[in-house]
Amino acid sequence: MQTTMTSLLTADSPTVMTQTTPHLCIEAVTKCFGSFTALDNISLTIKEGEFVCFLGPSGCGKTTLLRTIAGLARQTSGTLNQRGNDISTLPPQARDFGIVFQSYALFPNLTVFNNVAYGLRNRRVDRARINARVAELLALVNLSGSEQKYPAALSGGQQQRVALARALATEPGLLLLDEPLSALDARVRGHLRSQIKALQARLGVTTIMVTHDQEEALTMADRIVVMNHGVIEQVGTPAEIYHQPASAFVASFIGTMNFLDVAVHSAEQVTLAAVRLTCLPHCLPVGGAARLAVRPEAVALTRQVGGLAGEVTDIEFLGAFQRVTLQLAGANQTLLADVPSRDSTTLGLHMGQTLGIHLPAEAARLYPAGSNTL
């Protein structure tokens, strides 16, 4: 993608890059705080123009990795290359990035105009170009007319947009977002994330966002980097992460997942509650224990009982669907099934009802017994 904004800082044409060109290469990066390893041998390549989310629970290392990229935390070992340039030892001010913090970090004593213009003035850009650039950015984030307001007079969502405009003012090659929406209420957060994604797509700026909110990552990212205990568990598109989780941790962290204890019968079959089920091919040892993971929306229920069955112990109304909890017959295990509202009448859903259960092989993933989950 190419930017639609006029370059106000350089007269030279930028280097031609494509979405398949690496913008950032992180190679074997480790970060230790004393005896604690926050990042453990992280390697990752981010393409030009890509929107990447670092996703994971608190303490997984995602913010440390972002700060390492920015130069705010120096890696213990490993290298970072941006557009072919080694930035591993460069100070933050010498790196090509703009950053938006969770707390916005606006200067309370400066107007909106002066907040956005701050980085341009530090680069000694002339006044006319500053005026044009600030006007352009405030129009881009729908804040034209707010130039003389102070941050205290703005809503949280407006402050965040000012912070975004300030980060983009110097036309950075890389935009870093550190949980930028976590301090906002749900409605504003949902609106602003669509604005940020649309703006990023329009400008084509390579973007890395740290978040612990899986919905944000799934709706905004081109690729998601799922992290846990300082390592990368999986890198993939939102669809890959959701439908093909590489580990039990990823399966449990993204969305809602059923985990069922099963016995491995063959390379393509498992046994659950004395019922043999077909699964995708795997390499787990025959005769051993395993965990079968299937999402509630993939579970099919029927009034015809035969094979795997369960008793309805709870029904939760969630608008477009009802979440049904079933106690599996012949096993001390429960299963969640999401039933579209239009199908609930056909099933005649009610407490204590026994229903047949179908688990599609293509929707189920098999993991070793004892695999770590969230």
Tokens of 124: 């000694």
Determine the 3-state secondary structure of 84 from DSSP: coil
pTM score, whole prediction: 0.89
The Cα-based distances of 217 to 69, 91, 184, 301, 343 in angstroms read 19, 29, 16, 30, 30
**Coil vs helix vs strand at 362:** helix
Question: The sheet that has 275-278: what strands, in order across it?
Answer: 275-278, 269-272, 258-266, 289-294, 364-368
Q: Give the H or E element holding residue 335.
A: strand 334-340
pLDDT for the residue numbered 30: 98
Rounded to whole angstroms, what are the CA distances from 110 to 116, 117, 130, 264, 274?
10, 10, 16, 65, 70
- Each domain of the chain, given as residue ranges in start order, spans 22-248, 256-368
pLDDT computed for residue 182 by the predictor: 84
Residues with Cβ within 8 Å of residue 7, at least 6 apart in sequence: 14, 171
d(CA 6, CA 306): 66
In the CATH hierarchy, which top-level class contains the domain 22-248?
alpha beta
Q: Which portions of the chain are predicted below pLDDT 70? A: 1-20
CATH of span 256-368: 2.40.50.100
Element (H, E) at 364: strand 364-368
Q: pLDDT value at position 102?
A: 84
Provide the H-helix boundaries in the chain: 62-70, 112-122, 127-140, 156-168, 186-203, 214-220, 238-243, 248-253, 341-347
Euclidean distance between CA atoms 310 and 360, whole angstroms: 16
- The single residue listed with the structure tokens 């890059």 is 17
Residues in the chain: 374
Helices 156-168, 112-122: crossing angle, 10 deg rounding: 20
pLDDT at res. 366: 94
Task: Scan for tokens 């993971």, then name that residue.
Answer: 293
Say how far residue 353 (Cα) sits from the centre of its chain.
38
The per-residue pLDDT for 272 is: 95
* Structure confidence at residue 7 (pLDDT): 40
Q: pLDDT at position 10, please?
A: 37
* Secondary structure of 91-150 in HEC code, one letter for each residue: CHHHCCEEEECCCCCCCCCCCHHHHHHHHHHHCCCCHHHHHHHHHHHHHHCCCCCCCCCC
Q: Which residues lie across from 183 on neighbouring strands?
A: none
